[in-house]
């Protein structure tokens, strides 16, 4: 079969070489690599979670209750309905070096304590293997030997307390002996919020050391191995039917690690969108490259038209060429993107929450390819449509092109359809449509703003009085002459710089909040698990420490939401906004007076002597997420007792203030009789902090102290890991912008050589010409940087104000340095290109002109 | 005044080309420029017409309008019995494919195609199955049988223009439009091209509109019209082109 004429002509045309398409390929490859890479990495992590779900959950099914154990009847049911039942209890507590071994004095730390079943068929772990060093069995390591109970700990605990295997630690009221270090813990998800290293003991030890008291913050996990043929769904229905009012949460391998998955999804979506920004910025480069390429082909196009080729054929020929090159760029991007997880996982070793499963994942690759195809098409369509309209008659005047006719309506419609498809694809990329929607709206707004600003700049410069200085005059006319790349460079470099300025400002603001604002007002410690009868001792102990001050003390209970306005909490998906509130055990408190500094956003606070039916005050972000209004009713399950409460008011919660705060606060009257603990914050001068902790720990061994500084460090470390990822992908957008700039400069190179030669012929020195170009690039870079600083600051302000509900301070250094870097980069790149132009010998050039 | 051929084929009746009261005004930065100001012209089938006149007088524009490449602001263009004013861009392209061959001053060969491919383009566009065989013959007719695989950049100016001639004649169009075909060539080479062009035209009995600055070349046409300020001013009888060619030979 004969090759279609369009393909035949396209292949002949491509013999001319791919000069000018390097930037085109680089832009597409970069953007597609970013999207495909982020998508593949996310898929690898998700597959890692799914493939490892049984080990990570440590069971086929897990029943979780907090603060109290399941009833005997419930435990018996679980034992009867499984092949093996294993109890794991977790709490945060203090581990201390006993006074006789304490070389430095007062040596103690908060640990994440885990008590496990070690005997029978329910021995921990039900799945996977716990590895110890030396290689003991876990049962042996944790057993009581010569009247001393055993424990194993992560290596970091040994380092922190300066102890070694064989040493003892005080836990609650007793001592335990460290028998081994814990090398692997199969159900541990790393990188999640942990305030201390792991210490593991057996369940008997935990019962003996006096840490579990009524209302203590102990998480009980009843883990079961089910017969292989068990249908987990039916099993869950059975347990729900047997204990309809149980306030527990059940997890199975299908629902493993929803929070990690959600985190991976969100960060993945965010990074995909940043990648898409890079691709779209690169799209400007794609458009410029296609335009420059077709500009070089105008004579050929006009000739073909003279010989009888219709516009449609011309369009098809160049669509095939651009399509083939785009396919090459996209393919390159897909290959690099698919390989990215292997490189990234090597670099991120130990930073990821779970071991990722490296493979080729077609879905993210297909999505990246679709983004690439649509972006290339959207940006190439305009110049392609213009090529179709090239007037052939120009051949008779030897001036072809320069005709700025608009493409016909059908091409504009085609462009609108492809742009809509691109937007739709962006909107359906992740589950969080809100973020994607904001991204689309703000990027369209930013591009429109840059386009408008670029046009205004050109308009303004064109109308400025002509300078008498030839350098300045040349610079200005270079920026405003027809076909100058000013608008394209301002949009693409501007967009790249804007992303960087935005991120620099958000990061700066968050850092400022975490590091400089909080410590002024933050207390030194959180104290948890204070029993009601220990309150007086606790307060007395704090008061006796020099400079010690009780900042806040409130009762705390735990429970679950059973229903909201009669709708069962089970019906709220766990992975949707606000899902955690309906699906997790939450902590709440009760109080008569409105906490100091509270801002109500709806309803009224109850009178101090209120004594009516249960009322609650609810955090307004939860109300918004779950569409709860004042006077709606929420039914809670508090330690097995159903409690229906009416929402009396909604209030803003500023978690950054480091005050004890609760999503739900009850009015007095409903909870006083329920089992509860107290939590408190206390402060002391720096020099007395250790003393405060030791004094409380000595007086009340079951009370744990969490140093606020440690919490902030943990938060900061997590925050830094995330911002590093974001900064890396933001850099990709700037690279895209630089590519566009480089492309625009390369496209204008011939004209610059000609200009500089003519100027030199007319008597200008190299310095004169160089100065003119310097002014041009400085104007271009300066205007772009100023615009990027303005748009980026607006974007950062919007994010801080409306999405993070934080305070906003303009940080001129962060914005200035980032934007200033942009100017320097523009001038530098521009100059590298120009220097070559300046070096050209006039005679050589003129002979060929 | 309608400038007609001696054949007396006035109007669209017997003329291959009929231009009536053509006006063409272009907007430029400095204001409207009247390029054609009322051109009337008939060219009979088989006639050769030379168009002379100073630069900017509107010669090339008249040629472009005749080829359907430029639309007049007003007036009527009829070529081979077809009214170009009623056609859209694609219909005009099809019209050119079928009826017109064009030779340019700057050759305008497609740089990425070989000589053979350049010549085959009109036939390929017309969907002719034996395009390359015909193109090869056409190249042989202009004496370039051994240059078929050369690219334009590998050919001399004269050779390039011969390829352009082969391309213009290969589809056996009714009308050849030549816009100063020797303008970029030295006089010897130019003379050779002119001989070749007139020779092929004579063999195939084609109609030719030739724009030239060279009065001697113009005199080889059946008829010569002079253009100035967008208007045709007078007409003179040319020499017998074929006789001239013979005498030159």
Q: How large is the ipTM?
A: 0.86
Question: What is the nearest CA distance from B23 to chain A, expressed in angstroms?
Answer: 16
CA A442 vs CA A32, A415, A449: distances in Å: 21, 20, 10
Contacts of B64 in chain A (CB under 8 A): 393, 396
Question: What is the nearest CA distance from B230 to chain A, expressed in angstroms?
Answer: 15
Is the pLDDT score of B246 beyond 50? Answer: no
Are the C-beta atoms of residues B166 and B138 closer than 8 Å to each other? yes
Q: How confident is the model at residue A483 (pLDDT cuts 50, 70, 90)?
A: low
Kind plus residue range of the DSSP H or E element containing B20? strand B15-28
Is the pLDDT score of A848 beyond 70? Answer: no
B66 to chain A: closest CA residue: A393
Contacts of A403 in chain B (CB under 8 A): none
Pairing of the two strands A198-202 and A174-184: unpaired
Closest CA to A109 of A196, A37, A223, A180: A196
- Beta strands in A125-257, from DSSP E residues, in sequence order: 131-133, 149-153, 168-171, 174-184, 198-202, 219-225, 249-252
B121 to chain A: closest CA residue: A307
Rounded percentage of chain A residues whose pLDDT exceeds 70: 89
Question: What is the nearest CA distance from B30 to chain A, expressed in angstroms?
Answer: 16
Question: What is the nearest CA distance from B180 to chain A, expressed in angstroms?
Answer: 10
Q: How confident is the model at residue B249 (pLDDT cuts 50, 70, 90)?
A: very low
* The pLDDT value given to residue A803: 67
Contacts of B110 in chain A (CB under 8 A): 12-13, 300, 303-304
A396 to chain B: closest CA residue: B60
Contacts of B149 in chain A (CB under 8 A): none
Collect all residues with Cβ–Cβ distance below 8 Å to A571 and sequence separation of at least 6.
Answer: none
Query: Which of A307, A313, A398 has its CB closest to that of B106?
Result: A398
Q: Do A310 and B90 touch (CB under 8 A)?
A: yes
pLDDT, one tens digit per residue, over A494-521 is 888 888 888 888 878 877 766 655 555 5
Q: How confident is the model at residue B247 (pLDDT cuts 50, 70, 90)?
A: very low
**A134, exposed or middle or buried, with CB in 10 Å at 0-12, 13-18, 19+?**
exposed
Query: For chain A, which residues lie within 8 Å of any Cβ of chain B, measuring from their own Cβ?
Result: 5, 8, 12-16, 299-300, 302-313, 391-393, 395-398
* The pLDDT value given to residue A253: 79
Long-range contacts of A455-462 (CB under 8 A, 24+ apart): A455/A487, A457/A486, A457/A490, A457/A783, A458/A484, A458/A486, A458/A487, A461/A779
Query: Which of B95, B97, B113 has its CB closest to that of A12?
Result: B113
Least confident window among A4-8, A422-426, A503-507: A503-507
Q: Do B179 and A396 touch (CB under 8 A)?
A: yes
Are the C-beta atoms of residues A170 and A183 closer than 8 Å to each other? no
A296 to chain B: closest CA residue: B111
Least confident window among A301-315, A495-509, B122-136: A495-509
* The pLDDT value given to residue B133: 95
CA-CA distance, B193 to B245, in Å (whole number)? 12
Contacts of B67 in chain A (CB under 8 A): 306
| pTM of the shown model | 0.73
* The pLDDT value given to residue A489: 78
Query: Which of A299, A300, A310 has its CB closest to that of B93?
Result: A310
Q: Do B93 and A397 touch (CB under 8 A)?
A: no
Once rounded to an integer, what is the mean pLDDT over residues B31-37? 86
Residue of A307, A321, A388 for testing the chain B interface, max B β-carbons within 10 Å: A307
* Helix B115-125 vs helix B157-170: crossing angle, to nearest 10: 20
Residue of B57, B125, B154, B212 for testing the chain A interface, max A β-carbons within 10 Å: B125
Query: For chain B, which residues lie within 8 Å of any Cβ of chain A, measuring from their own Cβ?
Result: 60-61, 63-64, 67, 69-70, 89-90, 93-98, 102, 104-106, 108-113, 117, 121-122, 124-127, 167, 179
Residue of B33, B57, B64 for testing the chain A interface, max A β-carbons within 10 Å: B64
CA-CA distance, A42 to A724, in Å (whole number)? 16
Pairing of the two strands B15-28 and B175-179: unpaired
| Dihedral in degrees, nearest 10, Cα atoms A511, A517, A519, A521 | -150
Closest CA to A638 of A587, A685, A596: A587
* The pLDDT value given to residue A399: 45
Q: Do A396 and B64 touch (CB under 8 A)?
A: yes
Contacts of A306 in chain B (CB under 8 A): 67, 69, 96, 102, 108
Total beta-carbon pairs less than 8 A apart between chain A and chain B: 80
CA B3 vs CA B60, B61, B170: distances in Å: 18, 18, 30
Q: Is the dihedral of CA B150, B155, B159, B162 positive or negative?
A: positive
Rounded to the nearest angstrom, the gap between the alpha carbon of residue A157 and the centroid of all alpha carbons in its chain is 29
Residue of A11, A19, A303 for testing the chain B interface, max B β-carbons within 10 Å: A303
Neighbouring C-beta atoms of residue A716, cutoff 10 Å: 14
Question: What is the nearest CA distance from B107 to chain A, expressed in angstroms?
Answer: 10
Burial A238-247 (b: 16+ CB within 10 A, else e): ebeeebeebb
Contacts of B89 in chain A (CB under 8 A): 310-311
Query: Which of A13, A309, A392 has its CB closest to that of B125?
Result: A309
Q: Do A306 and B67 touch (CB under 8 A)?
A: yes
Kind plus residue range of the DSSP H or E element containing A5? helix A5-13
Neighbouring C-beta atoms of residue A207, cutoff 10 Å: 12
Q: Do A306 and B98 touch (CB under 8 A)?
A: no
* The pLDDT value given to residue B117: 94
pLDDT, one tens digit per residue, over A212-248 is 876 677 889 999 999 988 898 899 999 989 988 777 8
Once rounded to an integer, what is the mean pLDDT over residues B150-166? 94
Rounded percentage of chain A residues whose pLDDT exceeds 90: 23
Question: What is the nearest CA distance from B97 to chain A, expressed in angstroms?
Answer: 4
Contacts of A12 in chain B (CB under 8 A): 110, 112-113, 117
pLDDT, one tens digit per residue, over A786-828 is 888 888 898 888 877 776 656 788 888 888 888 888 778 778 8
Domain boundaries, chain B: 46-69+87-248
pLDDT, one tens digit per residue, over A572-604 is 776 667 777 887 778 889 999 988 778 899 999
Cα atoms in the 13 Å half-sphere on the side-chain side of B65: 30
Q: How far apart are the first and last CA of chain B?
A: 37
Least confident window among A4-8, A524-528, A722-726: A722-726
A523 is written with which tokens?
């207390």
Q: Do A395 and B104 touch (CB under 8 A)?
A: yes
Q: How confident is the model at residue A7 (pLDDT cuts 50, 70, 90)?
A: very high
Q: Do B64 and A16 touch (CB under 8 A)?
A: no
Higher-scoring residue by pLDDT: A131, A101 = A131
Query: Which of A12, A303, A310 has its CB closest to that of B108?
Result: A303
Is the pLDDT score of A128 beyond 70? Answer: yes
**At B149, is the secondary structure helix, strand, or coil?**
coil
Closest CA to A678 of A109, A218, A216, A220: A216
Is the pLDDT score of A331 beyond 50? Answer: yes
Kind plus residue range of the DSSP H or E element containing A89? strand A84-96
CA-CA distance, A147 to A140, in Å (whole number)? 14
Q: Do A303 and B112 touch (CB under 8 A)?
A: no
pLDDT, one tens digit per residue, over A162-221 is 889 999 998 888 899 999 999 888 887 654 556 778 999 999 999 888 888 766 778 899
Q: Do B69 and A304 touch (CB under 8 A)?
A: no
B108 to chain A: closest CA residue: A303
Contacts of A16 in chain B (CB under 8 A): 111-112
A392 to chain B: closest CA residue: B69
Cα atoms in the 13 Å half-sphere on the side-chain side of A395: 33
Q: How confident is the model at residue A334 (pLDDT cuts 50, 70, 90)?
A: very high
Q: Spell out the CATH class of B46-69+87-248.
A: alpha beta
Cα atoms in the 13 Å half-sphere on the side-chain side of A94: 29
Contacts of B127 in chain A (CB under 8 A): 5
* The pLDDT value given to residue A802: 72
């Amino acid at each position: 079969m004969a090759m279609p004429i369009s393909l035949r002509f396209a292949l002949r045309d491509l013999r001319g070489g791919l000069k000018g398409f390097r930037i085109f390929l680089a832009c597409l490859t970069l953007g597609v690599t970013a999207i495909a890479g982020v998508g593949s990495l996310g898929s690898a992590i998700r597959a890692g979670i799914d493939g490892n779900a049984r080990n990570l959950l440590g069971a086929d099914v897990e029943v979780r209750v907090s603060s109290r154990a399941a009833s005997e009847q419930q435990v018996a049911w679980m034992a009867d309905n499984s092949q093996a039942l294993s109890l794991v209890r977790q709490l945060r507590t203090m581990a201390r070096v006993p006074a006789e071994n304490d070389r430095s004095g007062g040596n103690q730390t908060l640990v994440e304590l885990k008590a496990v079943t070690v005997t029978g068929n329910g021995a921990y772990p039900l799945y996977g293997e716990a590895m110890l060093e030396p290689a003991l069995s876990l049962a042996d390591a944790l057993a009581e030997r010569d009247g001393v109970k055993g424990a194993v700990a992560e290596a970091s605990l040994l380092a922190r307390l300066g102890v070694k295997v064989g040493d003892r630690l005080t836990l609650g009221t007793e001592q335990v002996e460290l028998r081994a270090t814990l090398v692997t813990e199969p159900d541990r998800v790393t990188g999640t919020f942990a305030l201390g290293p792991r210490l593991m003991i057996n369940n008997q030890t935990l019962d003996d050391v006096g840490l579990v008291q009524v209302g203590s913050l102990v998480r009980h996990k009843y883990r079961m191995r089910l017969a292989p043929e068990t249908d987990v769904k039916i099993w869950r229905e059975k347990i729900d039917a047997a204990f309809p009012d149980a306030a527990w949460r059940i997890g199975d391998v299908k629902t493993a690690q929803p929070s990690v998955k959600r985190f991976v999804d969100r960060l993945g979506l965010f990074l995909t969108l940043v990648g898409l920004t890079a691709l779209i910025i690169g799209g400007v480069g794609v458009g410029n490259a296609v335009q420059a390429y077709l500009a070089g082909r105008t004579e050929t196009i006009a000739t073909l038209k003279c010989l009888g080729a219709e516009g449609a054929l011309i369009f098809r020929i160049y669509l095939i060429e651009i399509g083939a090159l785009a396919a090459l760029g996209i393919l390159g991007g897909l290959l690099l993107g698919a390989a990215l997880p292997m490189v990234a996982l090597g670099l991120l070793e130990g930073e990821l929450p779970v071991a990722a499963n490296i493979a080729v994942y077609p879905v993210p690759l297909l999505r990246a390819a679709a983004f690439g195809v649509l972006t290339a098409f959207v940006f190439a369509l305009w110049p392609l449509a213009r090529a179709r309209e090239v007037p052939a008659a120009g051949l008779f005047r030897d001036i072809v092109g320069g005709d700025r006719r608009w493409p016909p309506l059908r091409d504009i419609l085609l462009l609108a359809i492809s742009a809509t498809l691109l937007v739709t694809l962006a909107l359906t990329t992740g589950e969080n449509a809100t973020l994607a929607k904001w991204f689309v709206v703000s990027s369209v707004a930013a591009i429109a703003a840059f386009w408008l600003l670029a046009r205004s700049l050109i308009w303004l410069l064109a109308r400025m009085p002509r300078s008498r200085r030839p350098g300045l005059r040349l610079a200005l006319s270079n920026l405003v002459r027809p076909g100058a790349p000013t608008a394209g460079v301002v949009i693409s470099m501007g967009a790249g710089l804007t992303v960087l300025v935005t991120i620099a400002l958000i990061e700066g603001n968050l850092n400022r909040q975490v590091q400089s604002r909080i410590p002024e007002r933050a207390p030194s410690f959180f104290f948890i698990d204070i029993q009601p009868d220990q309150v007086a001792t606790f307060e007395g102990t704090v008061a006796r420490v020099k400079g010690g001050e009780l900042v806040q003390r409130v009762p705390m209970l735990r429970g679950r939401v059973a229903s909201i306005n009669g709708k069962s909490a089970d019906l709220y998906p766990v992975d949707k906004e606000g899902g955690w509130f309906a699906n997790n055990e939450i902590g709440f408190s009760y109080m008569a007076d409105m906490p100091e500094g509270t801002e109500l956003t709806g309803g009224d606070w109850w009178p101090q002597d209120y004594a009516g039916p249960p009322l609650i005050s609810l955090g307004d972000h939860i109300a918004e997420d779950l569409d709860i209004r004042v006077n709606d009713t929420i039914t809670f399950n508090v330690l097995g007792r159903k409690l229906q409460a009416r929402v009396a008011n909604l209030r803003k919660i500023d978690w950054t203030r480091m005050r004890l705060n609760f999503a739900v606060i009850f009015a007095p009257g409903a909870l006083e009789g329920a089992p509860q603990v107290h939590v408190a914050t206390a402060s002391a001068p720096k020099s007395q902090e250790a003393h405060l902790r030791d004094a409380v720990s000595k007086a009340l061994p079951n009370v744990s102290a969490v140093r606020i500084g440690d919490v902030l460090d943990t938060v900061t470390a997590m925050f830094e890991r995330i911002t590093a990822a974001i900064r890396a992908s933001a850099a990709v957008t700037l690279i895209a912008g630089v590519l566009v700039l480089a492309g625009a400069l390369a496209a204008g190179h011939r004209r610059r050589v000609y200009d500089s030669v003519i100027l030199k012929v007319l008597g200008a020195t190299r310095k004169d010409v160089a100065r003119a170009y310097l002014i041009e690039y400085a104007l271009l870079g300066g205007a772009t940087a100023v615009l990027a600083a303005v748009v980026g600051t607006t974007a950062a302000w919007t994010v801080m104000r409306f999405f993070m509900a934080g305070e906003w301070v303009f940080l001129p250094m962060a914005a200035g340095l980032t934007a200033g870097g942009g100017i320097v980069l523009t001038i530098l790149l521009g100059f590298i290109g120009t220097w070559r132009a300046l070096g050209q010998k006039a005679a050589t050039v003129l002979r060929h002109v | 005044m309608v400038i007609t051929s001696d054949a007396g084929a006035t109007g669209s009746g017997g003329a291959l080309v009929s231009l009536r009261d053509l006006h063409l005004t272009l907007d430029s930065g400095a204001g409207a420029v009247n390029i054609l100001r009322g051109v009337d012209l008939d060219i009979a089938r088989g006639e050769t017409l030379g168009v002379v006149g100073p630069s900017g007088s509107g010669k090339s524009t008249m040629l472009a309008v005749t080829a359907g490449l430029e639309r007049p602001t007003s007036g009527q263009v009829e070529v081979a019995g077809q009214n170009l004013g009623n056609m859209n861009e694609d219909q005009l392209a099809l019209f050119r494919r079928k009826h017109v061959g064009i030779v340019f001053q700057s050759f305008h060969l497609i740089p990425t195609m070989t000589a053979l491919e350049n010549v085959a383009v009109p036939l390929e566009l017309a969907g002719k199955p034996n395009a390359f065989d015909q193109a090869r013959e056409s190249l042989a007719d202009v004496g370039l049988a051994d240059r078929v695989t050369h690219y334009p950049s590998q050919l001399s100016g004269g050779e390039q223009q011969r390829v352009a001639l082969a391309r213009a004649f290969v589809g056996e169009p009714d009308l050849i439009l030549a816009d100063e075909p020797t303008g970029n060539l030295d006089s010897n080479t130019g003379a050779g091209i002119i001989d070749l062009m007139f020779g092929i035209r004579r063999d195939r009995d084609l109609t030719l509109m030739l724009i030239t600055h060279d009065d001697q070349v113009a005199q080889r046409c059946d008829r010569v019209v002079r253009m100035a300020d967008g208007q045709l001013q007078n007409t003179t009888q040319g020499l017998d082109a074929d006789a001239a060619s013979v005498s030159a030979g």
